[in-house]
Structure 1
Amino acid sequence: MMTPYDAPDWAGMSQRDRDLGLNNAAAVADSADIVAGWERRSAGMRAQHSAHLDLSYGPRPRNRIDFLKAREQAPTLLFIHGGYWQLRAKETFTLFATGPLAHGINVALIGYTLAPEATLDQIVGEIHAGIDYLAGQLPDLGGDAGGLVVSGWSAGGHLTAMALPHPQVKAGIGISGIYDLEPIRHSYLNVKLGLDGSMSRRNSPLMQEGGAMKPLTLVAGQAELPMLRRQTADFAGHRVRYGLPVSYEEIPGANHFTIMNEMASPEGRITTMIRQLFERVA
């Protein structure tokens, strides 16, 4: 549980270097093409699993959940999309249900209101409301009503950590997540987020005393931006210090976008981690 050797201290960086240190699109030259590919493949997945799309859990347009069913009474993984809380949508990420579905795990994908239309406090609240709704609907959807495992990528990794205390959540897996919002607050990303010090602190899992005594798997790519690798390593260390169950792994050669190949594939490393979490909390 060590901070990556090449990870800088964000507080000592210039504004320009801090912004670049958080800019995944700039760091991965073909990221736009990668995401376009996700969108194409996800459209096909949605067509194949159209029975339970856009289930409404709240009053706002993005308060919607897609439920992809693997089999009757299967356990359910809830996936939270990324985009620095201000970009993207659940529809782009449907293809990442492929890996878990192949192992008999239902997958639900949750949407949420993006900044600046919602504050981070409100976004976290929406995720909790969505979990309330989905947990209540699982019997009618044909899923196991015994609780959820939550996962998420990038900003979704942060929201996974914030969802872990929910009583209907049994475990979580954060993929390339953000767990300390202070670097975000002091970067270009805060123009839309509008974080102040207090909002940053209460929504930073790394700044909380303790945490949920539930299994949490944390994973990042070895080829990710060092600032983001540090986020995952530091949060893993935080949980170790408080005696909370955690595992930490870096995927060799994976960047912030290609790491998701490990969930799209039934044989992918992240798919395996998800299976192991379900086995652990069964």
Structure 2
Amino acid sequence: MDTSAEKWRNFNLEELAKQYSSSKWSKRQPDEVIKDHLKILKEASELARTTIDCELGIKLGESESHRLDIFGRKNSTEGSPAIIYVHGGYWQLLGLEYSSFIAPSITNKHGVLYSIGYTIAPKGTMEQMIDEIKAGVIYVLKDAASRNFSGVYICGHSAGAHLSAMMLSIDWHAEGVNPDLLKGAILVSGIYDLRPLINTYVNDPLKMTEESAAKISPQLISSQIIKYSKRRSILIAFAKYDSEEFIRQSQLLYDTLRLASCDVSLKVISDADHFTIVERIMKTDYDLTKEIHRIMGLS
């Protein structure tokens, strides 16, 4: 596959829209994919909130959506690992009510899950979302330090993978928290160069320009990721039935970080599309779940 950084510039608008419409690449009916995805995540999240020890709706900032749900903290012990989950939805869908579904696969292994909610578009800007996730990570790092947790990891899907990758570019010491406590990241079917989205329907509520998109694209600020996250364990995963562009972007970020000798790995999830790749994380015997457990040190 051609992984050149600006292959997307050769696409016409129709092809560009297709490449960044994930439902069109699923083996399922495109009209049903997103509806099924929302149903699966919401029902599994509701079940987690009613069956697992949790602390819900912790306010992080002024925005009503900027909140935190925590699973397994009350029964945690010193040395427990924690993971932050950042939902996807193209920065304009989903929320905390869809973000608890992975809790059983974490808490059943004695880990702690923190799910961060943020202000999606059109109410929230991209820069605001990044700032809100950063504030959430600061909360988690301080909380984890106070409880002597072994480490904090961050996992995001799709747009959430973009936001999670942005967290790898931050100087956490300058933010007043221990950078060594953030041990790694699991980036699932993400977008790491936002510029191709400028002339697609995705950008209608986001209102990015090419210049503003470049400033918040992990691929284009990879030097910062290399500077601040070289020793962190980073897993970049994508689905066999992700679009060619999603696959290219994952491969390109992996290649960039690998060439800089970062601790990075790449995993292709077979028999999965852009949606099932994350839906199945609720299952402990799923390949990607096992990788998350391995990175976190959960037996």
Q: Settle same-fold status: TM greater than 0.5.
A: yes
Q: For 1:184-263, what aligned pairs fall within 5 Å after superposition?
A: 184-210=197-223, 211=225, 212-213=229-230, 214-263=232-281
Displacement, 1:92?
A: 0.9
> Does the aligned pair in 2 maintain the 1:84–1:154 contact within 8 Å?
yes
1:112 aligned partner, one-letter code: Y
CA deviations over 1:80-127 (Å, ceiling 9, x no partner): 000011111121131122222222211111100011212211111110
Does residue 38 (structure 1) correspond to residue 36 (structure 2)? The answer is no
1:58 alignment partner, one of 44, 61, 64: 61
Structure 2: gaps spanning 5 or more residues = 173-178
Displacement, 1:205?
A: 0.9
Q: For 1:1-282, what aligned pairs fall within 5 Å after superposition?
A: 9-28=7-26, 29=29, 30-31=32-33, 32-49=35-52, 51-69=54-72, 71-73=75-77, 74-138=80-144, 143-164=147-168, 165=170, 166=172, 167=179, 168-210=181-223, 211=225, 212-213=229-230, 214-279=232-297
> Does the aligned pair in 2 maintain the 1:64–1:112 contact within 8 Å?
yes
CA distance in 1, matches of 2:222, 2:274: 28
> Does the aligned pair in 2 maintain the 1:103–1:266 contact within 8 Å?
no
Q: CA RMSD in A?
A: 2.3
Q: Percent identity?
A: 25
Identify if the C-alpha distance between structure 1 residues 209 and 225 changes in structure 2 by more than 3 Å, giving closer, same or farther: closer
* Residue correspondences, number: 276
Greater shift in the superposed pair: 166-175 or 251-260:
166-175
Provide the secondary structure at the position in 2 that maps to 1:91.
helix
Displacement, 1:137?
A: 3.1
Structure 1: gaps spanning 5 or more residues = none
Identify if the C-alpha distance between structure 1 residues 268 and 4 changes in structure 2 by more than 3 Å, giving closer, same or farther: farther
2:218 aligned partner, one-letter code: P
Query: Please, what TM-score do these two structures have when normalized by structure 1?
Result: 0.90
CA distance in 1, matches of 2:243, 2:54: 39
> Does the aligned pair in 2 maintain the 1:100–1:274 contact within 8 Å?
no
Displacement, 1:224?
A: 1.1
2:241 aligned partner, one-letter code: A
CA distance in 2, matches of 1:124, 1:252: 31
CA deviations over 1:37-91 (Å, ceiling 9, x no partner): 2211211111123541111111110111100006422211000000011111121
Identify if the C-alpha distance between structure 1 residues 99 and 3 changes in structure 2 by more than 3 Å, giving closer, same or farther: farther
CA distance in 2, matches of 1:98, 1:230: 32
Displacement, 1:270?
A: 1.5
